[in-house]
Each structure stands twice: as structure tokens, then as C-alpha cells.
Structure 1
Amino acid sequence: MSTVSGIDQPIRPLTVEPGLIAWGALVALTFACIALQRSAPWLVNFPTVWQVPIAAWINVVSDATVPVIQPLFRSISAFLDVPMRAMQGALAWLPWPIMMVIVSAVSLKSGGARLALFSIISLSYMVVAGYWPQSMNTLSLVLLAVPIAVGLGFALGVLGYRFPSFRPGLLALLDLMQTVPAFAYLIPLLLLFGFGPVVGLIASAIYATPPMVRNTMLGLDRVPSDIRESGLMSGCTRRQQFWQVEVPSALPQILIGFNQTTMAALSMVIVAAIIGGFEDIGWEVLSSMRKAEFGQSILSGLVIALFAILIDRLTLGFAKERPIGPTPIMAWMSWRRLAMIVVVALVAAVSQRHLWPDAWALPSTALRQQVEIVNVSLTGIVRDYAWFFNGARNVVLYSLLLPLRLGIVGAATPALWGFALTPTMIAAYVVLWLALAFLALRSYGWRLAVALCMAGLLLFQGFAGLPWPALVLGFGLLAYRLAGTGLACFAMLGFGFILVSGLSAPLSQSMYLTMLAVILCLMIGGLLGIWAAHSERASKILRPICDGLQTVPQFVFLIPALMFFKVGEFTALIAIMLYAIVPPIRYVEHGLRNVRADVVEAVQQMGATPSQILMQAKFPLALPVIMLGINQTIMAALSMLAIAALVGTRDLGQQVYIALGKADAGLGIVAGLSIAFLAILADRLTQAGARQAGSME
């Protein structure tokens, strides 16, 4: 006992949080591995003798099983080829004015006069641009892939709803289907089904199935109990209860799944063109990109963008009820009138084909044939402003990309930065980061201090030189602190699988490129979201831009990036950011706009400034929603890795693309599973972080 002013007071034992001990040990381990890397290089570079030829083993199994089961799948391919060719022939036979009338009538029923006008403008552009036949071939692919995906997704969703014990395995399968890059499962599809349009059809159907499964289960789960009870009290059988009570009640959510399934199928048109080899709009985009014909790339890419926006609005119009009810023109366009218009249009098409076969011919001179002036103009812009584009690329490359990939120790060389690191510089760097960590410890606690220490070590060493024990244990510890033992084991086993498979170098490339893209998207998108949350004009400006970015297929983002910045990691970074920047904008705006008004008013009455209201009231309350936006940003960035591989990255996505070119099923599956692991881990970590943020609210 100690005595202070004559009063005996117990001495409080010094307590240290277990989390601080664990993270402090990780920082010490990382520092020790970096310090010992010269004498023990295996601490940084995973030893090759520890690698296992998993890809080769998969190829052995594939070579043995594919010849046995290939005839069955080739027969399925031949069976699906019949409706594929029939649909292509029917859409090619249908005159383009008749198609415009039918689509306009459906648009009037779905979204009113504005959507009908947009559909006419979009279809007219396809005619004028000279891409009508290719557009109809793409539409035939979507019209066949969507029913297959919807039927399969609905059946699996009902199965997961009826049998809860089946649901965990089904959800795990859906996670894989949605996170494994499409290129990865194209390889086994090619081996089983062969090359041709049907393979693209099957790949599109597989890729588009998960949204329908999830929305079907979600809709059926949310059927109110009183509706179920009313059906039972009415004497419904189990089948009547399902089809006449539960499905109609869940139909709005199921239709949302139909919308997302349709968009997913359309987003696969360029991937399907790689293995389909038939004349559709995806093939036009791909071939023009390969030839560096950026004018044609823009024209054909705009067709896909218009197609995506039009189909999204059509299906969403039927899926969601308007808050103010249907417009007069929508109410006038009843289902009966719509059917009559379609029948009359088809009769007019038959008459025209028999009586006036040369009428309604496509324009002989299309915009695509006159686009050389666009190519010349774009080439001139790139040439005249090469100093700007090259300067911007070099600034980002030398100040962000290289330091993150190689670290300061790798970038600070006479060839790159013009100088080499000296012991004095290294000591000053260490002192600077320790000082920052000490200030963070005093002001904000040990968590930020530990984060700054790890950031300093990562920036010094780079992702390529990060010790693999620190990587595995660091993510395991993070997963344990956020979600418990199960996710921690999953994280360490997943990273162990990638390292043992020999993909440590592509892993570091993927992680640094994804992390940089996510950070930049959160910074830029977060600022835009804050602006939109406090300005109706900004919200109205950003909303159609975000709609366009969300509906445009991923490949289209490569066109402007490749056009201005050529091949390289900076081009991949731009393409990833264009695709991943929408979630932070939308979620930050949504989160800030929906903060409780009484809380904001209470803070205002206390005399807080607008910046204090934003940082100390709105942001903490909106944090769970913002965390979901971070989740979606990471998932979008990871999904672009395989697409970005087309412009010169050397990450896991490039491994998938190399495997596709060589028909190497083993490498494709291993690299695809590695990307899927990163996506699932990021999803689970951010979800756990969102739950913790919600519990602290």
C-alpha cells in the first residue's frame, strides 16, 4: 500500500490490452524479418522448395476426366446451338423499324414517354452507326442466357429457401461464382463445350445466375408472416401456398433479381466474344481495341452502354413500382394494348418481307465507315497533348505505383528517383514514422499508432518485399479481431494456398494495385459523395453519371484509359477506378443524407461549425453505411483485375488471362480461386467492420 497525504491507496496494476500486445508483436516480427532479409531471404521471398504444383495436379485430373465426359457436354452444346441460331435468324429477319416499334411500346409500359424516347434514340444510333446486325446478335445472346439464368437461379433460390441446411453450401457456391473471374471458368467450359457462340451463352448464363438466387431467397424470406398465415387459414395446399401466396408477395424482390441477372448477362458480351467468335457487338469492341482503332471502339462501346442503360431501365421499370403511381401513358398502355401492338407489328413485318422486300433497308453509309476522322482527331489529341498524359502517368507511376510496389528502398535508386538511400536517410525515415506513431498514440490511442507503424514498414519495403509471415499473420490477426477464429483460419489458409501455389509475386501486384485504386476511389468518391449530400444540384449532376458507370460493361472502361495512357499499370489503375468509384459516391451520399435530423439539429444548437457537424456527428452515424460502400468498392476493384490484365498488368488477373490463352485449366483455376479468396476475405472483413461500426453507433 502507498500513502498519499496520510491516506492509504491501493496501487493499480498496469494493464495492457491483449490487442496491443498482439499487434505490437506483429510490428516487431515485421521489422525483424525486414532487418534479417539479407541473411535469411526466405523471410521475404517464399521458398520455391515449399511450393506445390497444384496447377499441374489439376491438369492431370482434367486430362483424365475431360475426354470421358466431353461427349455429353458437346451434345448439350449442339442442343443449345439450335435455339441460338433460330434466335439470331429471327432478330436478323425482323425489320429494324418494327423492332423499334415493339421496344418503344414496351418502354411506354415500363417507364413512360421518357424511356420510350430514349429507346428510340438508342436504337436509332445503332442503325446510324452501322451496328444493327451486331446489336441483334448480342440481343439474341442475352434473350437466351437470361431465361436459363433466371430459371436456374429461381430453382436454386427456392431450394435454399425450402431447405435451410442446404443454404450455407449454396451461399459459398454463389460467393465463388460471383468472385471467380469469368476468364477462369471459361477454360473448363472451352475444354468441355468447345469453341463457339454456345460457349459464350453458357458462360453468360453461369455468370448471371447468382443475383437471381440471392434475390429469390431474400424475397421469399421476407414474406410477412401474416400473409403466410392468411393463406393457411384459407385452406391452401402447400403448392397453392407457395405459388399463389408466397411467390406473388416476393415478386418485387424476384424482379429485382431478374434485372440484375439481365445486366450481368449483358456485361459478359465481350468476354463471350473472346470464346464465341461470332459477329456481335462484343466482338466489334474487342477487335477494334486490338487494332487500336479508338474511334470504332468508342462507337461500338457506346452501343453496349446504350444497350445496358436501356435494358436496365426496362427491367427495373417492371421490377419497381413508381412512388407516385404510373403516368397516364403508362396506364393507357395496358398489357392487352401492348400485346395487340406487338401482333400488329409482326404482321406488318411479314407483309413487308413478302410484298416490299427491299423496303426498310439499313443505311448504306454508316457512321462507322466515316469514323476515320474520329481516329485522326483522337490520334492528334494524344500526340499534341502527349506531354500532359505522359506527365500525369509518370507522376503517379513514380510517386504512388512504384513506392507501393517496390517500396522506398526499391524506388530510391539513381535510375528511378535519381538518388540512392543512405543510412542517414533511413534513420531519418524511421525517426519520422516513430514520431508520427507517438503523436497518434497520445492523441488517438494505440490502434492508430500501430497502423502508422505498419504503414511505415509497408511503404519502406513495398508490397513486393513485404515478408510473407507478416502478411499471413497480419491478415489472420485482423480477421480474428473483427470476426473470430473461423475467419482468421480462412484468411491464413487462403494466403497459404496462394503462396504454396507459387503465385506470391502476382499476389503482391494484385494487392498493391487494388489497395491504391480503393484508396483513391474512397478519397475522390467520398468527396463527391459529401458534395452530393449537401447539394441537390450536385446530386442531380452525379446521379446520371453514376448510373452510366454502373451499367456500362467492364471492358468499356479500358477504351479511354488505353487511348490516352497506352499499355501499363497506370492504365489498369484508371480503368479500375472508373469502375469502382460509384459505390463510395452513392453510399457516402446516402449515409449522410439519412442521418437523423434531430441529432444534427442538437449539434447545431450546441454551436458546432459545419465541418464539426460533418466530422463529429454525421460521419460517425453514417459509418455503417459508408463501410458497406467500402465493401462494394473493394469488390468492384477486385472484379476488374482480370479485365485490367488486358492492358499490361502482371497480377493474378494476368495469370488467369495467360491460362485462358494456353487452355491451362490448372493455372486458371488456381489463379481464379486466389482472386475469389481475396474478394471473399475483403467482403467478410468489411462486413464485420460494418457490424462493429453499427454496434458502436
Structure 2
Amino acid sequence: MTRFLKSLTNGSRPFWLGLFLVTWALSKWSFSLYQALDARWIIRFPKQYELPLDGWISDAMSWLVEDAHFGLFSFRDLTRFIAGVIELPYQLVRSMLVDGFSVGQGQQAIELAPSISWIAIIGTMAAVAIYAKNKSLALLAGLCFAYLAIFGQWESAMVTLASVLIAVPIGVAGGLMLGILSYRHPWVERALRPVLDLMQTVPVFAYLVPILFLFGFGPISALVATVIYAMPPMVRISTVALQSVPEEIIEAGRMVGCKPRQLMWKVMLPTALPSLMVGVNQVIMLTLNMVIIASMIGAGGLGYDVLTSLRRLDIGGGIEAGLAIVVMAIALDRVSQAFAIRRVRPRPDPTLPVYQRHPLISTVLALIFVTTLTSFYLPAFRVLPEAFTITTGAFWTAMMEWINITFFDTFEAIKTFFLTTLLLPVKRFFGGIPWAWGIIAVGIAAGRLGGWKLGLISALMTLFIAANGLWAKAMVTVYLVSVSVLIASAIGIPLGIWAGQSARANSVIGSLIDTLQTMPSFVYLIPVVMLFRVGDFSAMIAVVLYALAPAVRYAAHGIRSIDSELIEAGKVSGCTERQLLWRIKLPLAAPSLLLGLNQTIMLALSMLVITALVGTRDLGQEVYIALTKANTGQGIIAGLAVAFIAIIADRIVTALSKSSQERLGVK
């Protein structure tokens, strides 16, 4: 263990111990110094010197919306044009899935065509799954969508699916175009990198504030926010996928006379398609992760059902809607993953009739036609009648009440133990750090690990947080993230090591992690709040569950990627299994463990902002308050503060990982 820790700290434990002791002493005595010297500036940035950036940003946004003109059109005209471009296909898809097609409004409306039958949609999803992989996947996808109908979630689920079917193509197409530009022009990649960093680290709530201000309340604003949130992974994956295309394939394309455009679209993109489909999968999952948050600005669908259930403390309704999101996410995730590894199949014989060349498409079209026609006479074919649906709301409510009553003392004991032994001491430590020393300490730590440039940038970002009056709430954020990441790593790394060494454990743990990653972030809040009520402990539990996956995956990957010859050498030299783990496997897996730590921190920060809904008093709450008040400046500044914390943590852990790789000779 000592060697493993030493590999992470490069043998400079006295330096880090000294930095911690100084910080701990100043944290412990900061209030005493404040009282003795009558100097509030010791613990809080002086109010008179705080930057009025929030007011400036709010004024700039107001000018942009109300007064900005670009020749023939105003900025408001531009936002209305964008909204119109998105609204047209959205309304078309929503009409197909939910509302049907009609002319007129209210009681004067005349129905032209009904929405697609629930039977046809289930059949279409099964056909897509067969095309992507096989009948087993078709059965899973069909059962998942049948669940939505049988358990009375069909209409809300179709509203959510309509948003997914519009947001995903926009996010994929936009990300692909930016990825191609980044591949062709390195300066574009350099320019996009900090923008993508901000897009992936600024809290989701912070997106909603300016978008609500620009586009108003409604599903179009929600779609714009969803696209912004879901697009960055596609940009990054597209760039990396194109850069990874073998040079031999590119040269072969040039030799046969391909022009640059043909080379890109007919050679490179088809070669990179499996990697690009991974990006599509990420866009789908992030879009589904956004559905509840986007419901705050008018998205509707399952997300709105979950949100209203949380507000009413409707346990059963919230769990029902949350499970519906999970079921839909599982179906879409598995199908998109199947497309990522799908092999190219031979083209059908062109001499055959169309229905034989494309049997799945023909079957789906026939099913849609027959069920739609039948639905004019039998409404049950359009939407499953309520009498045939099942509700589990009462069951979930009764079960949660029974658990609360039966295990109340146990839950309270666990909660009290963690609060008194871990959460409150760590909170007092971070809460007492003077802002001036906090800036210096962050700069010193970052500079020690990544050089003076990283130290200076980290110190300036920390100064930005303090100078905008957010120091106290930032420290609450850091404290909750630190505790959550510590617990997630303490659970996830051993599970990952176990999975990396045992195929059976990997199968079981992998299925559990897949389930956790499929569940949208808001879904974690429902059972946690019901069992532990609101507060820091509930937030910590939700964050740990959400951020656990990368700690497990990267640890398992690190163990599996160790050269078997090194392990054999250890066995030959007489190492026991315990010695192999602590002296060979863990030091060699350290870079992967640090990458997992990095991703765990990022997920913890993104989830922590959402836990503002359960009573945390951190930067997430600041962003949420800004959203409720439509205060653009406040929301953007608080969002940037969270992003800066994420960027500092990312750069520090990345620097630590690189130094670990260099010492081990790992690339």
C-alpha cells in the first residue's frame, strides 16, 4: 500500500502533509482570528470589492434580446427563426406519436388522421432491434415499450420519445460537423476544446437560465437546452474517430481518385462508423438524462411526471414515471449499442421484389397501415384503454412506507453515524478555510503537480469564485463532492478490482453498473428522499450512486490491461496473491484508477447541482435559485463557478495521471 500511495504522490508526502496541516490549522482558527482582529475579510471576500459580473451579464442579455440588431433582423428574430426550425419537425413527430393530425382548434378541430398505434410503435421498435442485432434484442426492446403501454405511461413516454427523436439527430449532426471541422483544421479543435470543457462542466441548470430568457417557456427551449447538453461527446468522439482511421485506408482512397469530400464521406466516415455510433449512444443517453431537468422549462412527458411527483411527495407516481424513463433508456441504449458493433451485411438481390428485399420495412409499414386504419373503428388500437392498464403507484407507496416504518431506526442510525463521523467534520474543515489561503493553496497544489501555468490558472479560477461572493457555497460544493467521491471510490475501486480478476464477478457487476448508468440522474433522488428525507446525507447517497460507475469500470479496465508477463514474473519470484495485488497490479493500474477518479469527480459535480432540489446549500442551489427567478447573470456566474471547480479538479488529476504514466513507462 505504501508503494502504491508513493507512486501517486511521487514520494513528496512531506510536502502534501505540510500543506494539509497548514490548511487545517487555518481552517480551525479562522473564526478565532476573525473575532480577535475584527476582520471579516479573513473568512469572506470583502463585499465592497466583489465583482458585479452578474448584473453586467443580466444587462447584456436584456440588451441582446430587446435592442440588438444585425442589419435586416434583430436577435429576437434570430431566436424565433431557430425556434421555428426546431418546432416544425417536433410538432410533426409529436403528432405522429401522440396527438394525431387535425385542423382547427378546440371543439372546432377536425381530425384528419390519428397518431400511430401503440401496437405499431412497439412493432417498429422490435423491427429496428432485429435489424441492429437479433430477435433476443427485439424481444427486450418490444417488452420495454409494451411496459410503457401496460403500466399507463404511454402518452407521457411518447412525448419524451418525440423530444429524443428530434434532439438526437440535431445533436449527432451538429457534433459530427464540428468533429469533421476539428479533424480538418487543428485550430478549430484547439478553439473548441475549452468551449466543450465548459459545456460539459457547467451545470445543466445554468444552461436553462439564458435559454429560458432567449426562447421562453416551452418544449422548444427544452430541446435547445438538451441539444447543447448532449452534443459535446459527439464532437469529441467524432474527432478522435476520424484521427484513428488508419493511414493505409486514407491512402487507398486517394489512390483510387477520391476527392477530399468523397474521401471523407465514402471512406473515412464508413471506416469510423463503429466509433461514431458510440457517440450516438452517448447523445441518446444524455438526452434521456436531460428529460426531467428540461421539464422545468416546459418539456413535458415523463420528466414532468417525475418532477411533479417529487414536488407533491407522490412516492408511487414518481417511482412509476422514473421506472418508465429507465425502461425506455434501457431499450434505446441496448439498440444503439447494437448498431455500434453491427457488421456490414450483404446487399439483397436487386432482382427480388421490394417486399422481399426489405422485409422488415415492409412489415412495419403494413403494421402501421393496418393498425391505423383499424383505430378509426376500434379506439383501443390507438391507445391502450385505461381499463387494461396496470398501476403500481399504490404498491410503491405502501412499500416505501413499510420500509420507512420498519427500518426507521436503522436508517437514522446510519445517517447519524455518517453525519457525525464524516460529513460534519469535513464540512467544518472546508467551511473554515479562509478565501485568501484557499486561493494560494489551490495554486500551490496545482503548480506542484502540473507546472506553474496550471497553478496560475487554478489560482485565478479560484479567485473568480471568491471575488463573486460564492466562496462559502463553493466550499460546501467541494465538501460534498470530496465526501461523495471518497465513498464512491472506496466502494467502486474494490468492486472494479474484483471484476477485473473474475469473469463471473465482471458479469454481475457489469450488469449492475450498466443499470446505474442507464438511469437518468433525477431518478436517484426519488427513493433516497423517501428513505432519508432532504439534506446533505440524501444528496451524498444520490451522488455516490450516480458517480459509482466510472470508479468500477476504470479499475476493472486497469487490472485487465496489465501485461500477463509481469504478473507471471511476480508469481515466479514468489509473490502471494495479496503481494501481486498491492505491489504489482495496483501500481501498474494507477493511471486507470486516476482516470476513473477524474470521471467520478465530474459525475459527482454534475449530480450535485441536481441535488439542490433536496436541500443542499451549495452552488447548485445558487443556480437553481437563479432559474426560479430567471436571473441570467446569477445563473451563469454560479454555473461558471461549478465549471471552474470541475476544470481545476480535471487538470490536477490529469497531471497526476500523466506523471504516474511517465514513472511507470505506460503510454
Does the TM-score normalized on the shorter chain lie above 0.5? yes
- Report the counterpart of residue 467 of structure 1 in structure 2: 434
Does residue 71 of structure 2 align to residue 49 of structure 1? no
Structure 1 SS opposite 2:212: helix
| 2:133 alignment partner AA | G
Q: Per-residue deviation at 1:572? A: 0.3
| 2:252 alignment partner AA | S
Tell me how far apart the structure 1 counterparts of residues 438 and 652 of structure 2 sit (CA, whole Å).
15
Q: List per-residue Cα deviations over 1:569-617 (Å, max 9, x = no partner).
A: 1000000000011111111112112221121122122222211110001
1:541-552 equivalences in 2 (<5 Å)? 541-552=508-519
Tell me how far apart the structure 2 counterparts of residues 316 and 26 of structure 1 sit (CA, whole Å).
45
Does residue 97 of structure 2 align to residue 91 of structure 1? yes
Q: Per-residue deviation at 1:32? A: 6.2
Does residue 213 of structure 2 align to residue 191 of structure 1? yes
Q: Per-residue deviation at 1:657? A: 0.4
Select which of 68, 77, 86 maps to 1:80. Answer: 86
Q: Given the two structures, how large is their TM-score scaled by the length of structure 1?
A: 0.85
Q: Per-residue deviation at 1:33? A: 7.7
| 1:296 alignment partner AA | G
Select which of 213, 228, 246 maps to 1:224. Answer: 246
Select which of 308, 314, 321 maps to 2:335. Answer: 314
Asked whether the equivalents of residues 26 and 434 of structure 2 are also in contact (C-alpha less than 8 Å), the reply is no
Q: Per-residue deviation at 1:566? A: 0.5
Asked whether the equivalents of residues 372 and 382 of structure 2 are also in contact (C-alpha less than 8 Å), the reply is no
- Report the counterpart of residue 285 of structure 1 in structure 2: 306
Q: Per-residue deviation at 1:469? A: 2.7
Structure 2 SS opposite 1:94: coil
Structure 2 SS opposite 1:463: helix
Tell me how far apart the structure 2 counterparts of residues 196 and 382 of structure 1 sit (CA, whole Å).
37
Select which of 671, 676, 694 maps to 2:643. Answer: 676
Tell me how far apart the structure 1 counterparts of residues 381 and 59 of structure 2 sit (CA, whole Å).
58
Tell me how far apart the structure 2 counterparts of residues 121 and 526 of structure 1 sit (CA, whole Å).
34
- Comparing 540-549 with 354-363, which one deviates more in the overlay? 354-363
- Report the counterpart of residue 295 of structure 1 in structure 2: 316
Asked whether the equivalents of residues 100 and 123 of structure 1 are also in contact (C-alpha less than 8 Å), the reply is yes
Asked whether the equivalents of residues 34 and 44 of structure 1 are also in contact (C-alpha less than 8 Å), the reply is no
1:83-482 equivalences in 2 (<5 Å)? 83-92=89-98, 93-276=115-298, 278=300, 280-321=301-342, 336-354=358-376, 356-359=378-381, 361-365=383-387, 369=391, 371-406=393-428, 462-482=429-449
Tell me how far apart the structure 2 counterparts of residues 26 and 255 of structure 1 sit (CA, whole Å).
45
Tell me how far apart the structure 1 counterparts of residues 534 and 653 of structure 2 sit (CA, whole Å).
32
Tell me how far apart the structure 2 counterparts of residues 560 and 358 of structure 1 sit (CA, whole Å).
34
Q: Given the two structures, how large is their TM-score scaled by the length of structure 2?
A: 0.88
Structure 2 residue runs without a partner (length 5+): 1-10, 68-74, 99-114, 347-354
1:11-26 equivalences in 2 (<5 Å)? 24=18
Asked whether the equivalents of residues 288 and 296 of structure 1 are also in contact (C-alpha less than 8 Å), the reply is yes
- Report the counterpart of residue 414 of structure 1 in structure 2: none
- Report the counterpart of residue 596 of structure 1 in structure 2: 563
Tell me how far apart the structure 2 counterparts of residues 537 and 113 of structure 1 sit (CA, whole Å).
25
Cα pair distance change 1:319/1:670, threshold 3 Å: same
Tell me how far apart the structure 2 counterparts of residues 658 and 149 of structure 1 sit (CA, whole Å).
28
Asked whether the equivalents of residues 530 and 589 of structure 1 are also in contact (C-alpha less than 8 Å), the reply is yes
Does residue 463 of structure 2 align to residue 496 of structure 1? yes
Tell me how far apart the structure 2 counterparts of residues 223 and 485 of structure 1 sit (CA, whole Å).
36
Does residue 666 of structure 2 align to residue 688 of structure 1? no
Q: List per-residue Cα deviations over 1:638-686 (Å, max 9, x = no partner).
A: 1112111110000111100000000010110001011111111211111
Cα pair distance change 1:682/1:545, threshold 3 Å: same
- Report the counterpart of residue 549 of structure 2 in structure 1: 582
Select which of 506, 527, 530 maps to 2:494. Answer: 527
1:33-48 equivalences in 2 (<5 Å)? 35=29, 36-40=33-37, 41=39, 42-48=41-47
- Report the counterpart of residue 112 of structure 2 in structure 1: none
Select the structure of larger CA radius of gyration.
Answer: 1
Cα pair distance change 1:627/1:387, threshold 3 Å: same
| 2:79 alignment partner AA | F
Tell me how far apart the structure 1 counterparts of residues 511 and 357 of structure 2 sit (CA, whole Å).
30
Cα pair distance change 1:19/1:540, threshold 3 Å: closer
RMSD between superposed Cα atoms in Å: 2.3
Structure 1 residue runs without a partner (length 5+): 1-16, 327-332, 407-461
Asked whether the equivalents of residues 30 and 467 of structure 1 are also in contact (C-alpha less than 8 Å), the reply is no
Cα pair distance change 1:29/1:107, threshold 3 Å: closer
Cα pair distance change 1:359/1:634, threshold 3 Å: closer
Q: List per-residue Cα deviations over 1:477-535 (Å, max 9, x = no partner).
A: 22112222221121001000000000011101000000000001111111212222233
Q: Per-residue deviation at 1:135? A: 0.6
Asked whether the equivalents of residues 160 and 217 of structure 1 are also in contact (C-alpha less than 8 Å), the reply is yes
Percent identity, aligned pairs only, is: 39
- Comparing 549-558 with 54-63, which one deviates more in the overlay? 54-63
Tell me how far apart the structure 2 counterparts of residues 193 and 114 of structure 1 sit (CA, whole Å).
43
Q: Per-residue deviation at 1:382? A: 0.9
Asked whether the equivalents of residues 234 and 279 of structure 2 are also in contact (C-alpha less than 8 Å), the reply is yes
- Report the counterpart of residue 108 of structure 2 in structure 1: none
Does residue 70 of structure 2 align to residue 64 of structure 1? no
Structure 1 SS opposite 2:272: helix
Asked whether the equivalents of residues 33 and 43 of structure 1 are also in contact (C-alpha less than 8 Å), the reply is no
Tell me how far apart the structure 2 counterparts of residues 671 and 269 of structure 1 sit (CA, whole Å).
22
Tell me how far apart the structure 1 counterparts of residues 643 and 224 of structure 2 sit (CA, whole Å).
20
Q: List per-residue Cα deviations over 1:152-184 (Å, max 9, x = no partner).
A: 111111111111112111111111111111110
Cα pair distance change 1:370/1:261, threshold 3 Å: closer
| 2:58 alignment partner AA | N
Tell me how far apart the structure 2 counterparts of residues 507 and 303 of structure 1 sit (CA, whole Å).
35
Select which of 590, 593, 615 maps to 2:582. Answer: 615
Tell me how far apart the structure 2 counterparts of residues 358 and 96 of structure 1 sit (CA, whole Å).
9
Q: List per-residue Cα deviations over 1:517-564 (Å, max 9, x = no partner).
A: 000111111121222223333222111110011111110010111110
- Report the counterpart of residue 646 of structure 1 in structure 2: 613
Tell me how far apart the structure 2 counterparts of residues 471 and 80 of structure 1 sit (CA, whole Å).
45
- Report the counterpart of residue 505 of structure 2 in structure 1: 538
- Report the counterpart of residue 561 of structure 1 in structure 2: 528
Cα pair distance change 1:161/1:272, threshold 3 Å: same
| 1:39 alignment partner AA | A
Cα pair distance change 1:642/1:230, threshold 3 Å: same
